[in-house]
Amino acid sequence: MGRIEAGTAPSSGLRRVRPAVVAAAVTVACFVDLGPARAADPASVARTTPERAAELAAAGWWETVLSEVPAMENELGDRWPMIVWHGPGQAPLPAERIQALLDRGITQNLTLDTNHIEAARALQEAGSKVIFMQGRAGNWPYSLAPDSSVWAHQFDEGYTYEEAGPGPLGQWHGACPLQHAGWAVLADQIRDTLTAFREAGVTVDGLWMDWEGDPYPFNNLFGQLRHCRRCRRQLPPEVLEEYEAWWDFYWRAYTQLHGAYVAGPAREIFPAIAVTNWHVVFSSRTDPLLYFVDDRVLPPLAPPLFTATNPVAYGNDTWWNRMWRDEEYELDRRHVDQFYMHCLLRGVSADAANRAAYGPQVMSFPWVTRFCPLESGGDDAVPDMSRAAYRECLRHLWLRDIDGMQLFNARWDGYEEDWVRELQDAVAVYDEILAHRELLAAGQAMNLTVPGVQDDGVLWSGLRSDDRAVVRAISQAAEPAQLDLEVWPGVPVELAAPVTGATYRIARTDSGCRVAEVR
Ligand SMILES: [Zn+2]
């Protein structure tokens, strides 16, 4: 899920400040001297009224979903269901309930626990894929080793790990990154648990973990490293001394360890399993993947043994606080939507470009959300992405070589309705896209370029097979525009790109192509 965020560089001056304080300070800076409100000012995130919050609480998850999230017109069929953060829980579900979820393109996800064998069996028998997902952070799984002397930093006399400063997730006594004994224990736990499911006749289709602990590059872990006697012996000196070198080293270690000790064992038991973990992505020098809260460039890497990636597409307040330039950008709805569109598209797009080169069989299941207050727990002054722009964004993500989505539809205090809206938006767009299911299965992404952080051009995406294509085009300017494409070599086409977007089906013919707008 990721109410988590690896840190800013120490030089930013933000490192030792509580994230909430940072958010407040930056927000004030952005909103001073704005003058009178302009007609086109973006709305900030809409709070849920207490009456509505009470109504949702009284209705509960099932009644709310069944009454407020319409079933799709298109069948899910053999496509991957989406999974949801705020979902129906872990208890075994009756077949009709599972079908009601599949009718909305979603399914129940389970935690990796043999207590859930019956729930998994119910899903399988009702025709759903079986997908596990759960979150965890801290010094686990290093701490699974039988003795902390095997993994825990060996600090200099008098040093305590709190001296490294508070991290976004709190603090913990960090692990020596090269001491892998606990990871081997985790690997055996995964083997044992998945074997129990297999022996019960359950095929696990997806293991989409949300394990974000050590050695994810949290600043407090960098702060601890140089005070550890063992790490000073084991690690290259630049990793101890240079923040950027440390960040890249930890990012790679995080990806590699989960590949070796999570993806590897999972594939031993279920060779065809779709296995990924929080923010596992490909990055390269030619298609560098930028982080989801700022312009940090992730180091080149190809995740080992994973069969799926997990780019992160979050409309988040950290992105706003760090990257919005009030003196350069126009503060209106259209430009705020452009700002978030850039952020949400770029991770999925770069990962797709890199998968095509380095892992063409690797699938992708991004985490997505329109509204994610990472820092402030909901700050009314941070403008959000409009729901219309978010739905537009989801359409383009689907047309960029992904296989499914994980919906971070968290239930935030004060914004209790938002989890429902996230479902409504994602289900409605999946329904639209499933009308082109043969291209989802066999098509190739036609465009992975990402509009700039402020960009009045045409945003377009498409999937193409040998003789069919689907293209979505929208003008990000105030006026409609035109998109000139060569859909196949020697087959040009002109498409209107209205400000509200349009979808086109294109069929190849002997003389060129035939275009039909999808209504
Ligand atoms: Zn150490």
**Which residue has 């409609």 as its token pair?**
480
How confident is residue 46, by pLDDT bands cut at 50, 70 and 90?
confident
Distance 237 CA to ligand 1 centre (A): 13
- Name residues with Cβ closer than 5 Å to ligand 1, which is an ion: 153, 176, 228, 230-231
On the question of pLDDT at 147 being above 50, the answer is yes
- Full-prediction pTM beyond 0.85? yes
| Dihedral-angle region of residue 35 (phi above 0 means left; psi in -120 to 50 means alpha; beta otherwise) | left
Residues 321 and 382: beta-carbon distance below 8 Å: yes
Each residue's pLDDT tens digit, 221-267:
999 999 999 999 999 999 999 999 999 999 999 999 999 999 999 99
How confident is residue 374, by pLDDT bands cut at 50, 70 and 90?
confident
On the question of pLDDT at 14 being above 80, the answer is no
Q: Is the peptide bond before 271 cis (omega within 30 degrees of 0)?
A: no
On the question of pLDDT at 32 being above 80, the answer is no
CB-side neighbour CA atoms (13 Å) of 24: 6
Distance 230 CA to ligand 1 centre (A): 5
Distance 215 CA to ligand 1 centre (A): 11
How far is 91 from 109, CA to CA, in rounded Å?
10
Distance 77 CA to ligand 1 centre (A): 49
* pLDDT of amino acid 387: 95
- Report, as an integer, the average pLDDT of 306-325: 97
How far is 77 from 86, CA to CA, in rounded Å?
23
DSSP codes, 108-130: --B-S-GGGHHHHHHHHHTT---
Length, in residues, of the chain: 519
Distance 187 CA to ligand 1 centre (A): 22
Distance 175 CA to ligand 1 centre (A): 6
For 483, the enclosing helix (H) or strand (E) is: strand 481-488
Bigger pLDDT: 476 vs 23: 476
DSSP 228: B
Each residue's pLDDT tens digit, 464-517:
999 999 999 999 999 999 999 999 999 999 999 999 999 999 999 999 999 999
Distance 46 CA to ligand 1 centre (A): 45
On the question of pLDDT at 175 being above 60, the answer is yes
